[in-house]
Amino acid sequence: MTKELQEKLFTKYDKMFRDRSKPMSETCMCWGCSCDDGWYHILDHMCAQLEHLREEYDVVVIFDQIKEKFGTLRVYHHEEYGDRWTKEGEWKDWKIDDKSEIEYSSLGWRHSGKMVSAAQHVSDQIEEVIRVTDMMSHITCEKCGMTGATQTEGGWITTLCDNCKQKKV
């Protein structure tokens, strides 16, 4: 990804990309986003959704590595929980609106009949955002961002639109 597009992400979502200046012995984000420009909008959308979760649940997703592998995006991260969480991983402020299907009990969150901890509930939401981002990369040209398909050519797996595939040949 070009430095200009990376800087837009780094500036807009500075908390998520805060480790980018650390040495390679501590993070792979020192290499930036190791993918082409076509996935910029997918990454921007993912970060916007994760930012919403940060505001709602006081948890920051910090990227360890973002790269292309086998023609799709790979996003590696860890999470930091803020002051609204206890050391045991429970959410201190557990008020949920009346319309939510989620309810809190002393054991954790009940969602669709399944009991999970508050931290697990938030982590599941984060993983779902990243999973959808991965799925989008399967059908988005990594070069230009148009609709594409994952393909193998010359031993390399890429996701390209027809136009970019013809340019590559």
Dihedral sign computed on CA atoms, order 32, 133, 151, 145:
negative
- What's the total number of domains in the chain? 1
44 in any annotated domain: yes
Distance CA 132, CA 2 (A): 23
| Each residue's pLDDT tens digit, 101-143 | 444 444 455 555 555 567 777 888 999 999 999 999 999 999 9
9 in any annotated domain: yes
| Each residue's pLDDT tens digit, 62-85 | 999 999 999 999 999 999 988 877
Which residues constitute the domain of residue 103? 3-139
51 in any annotated domain: yes
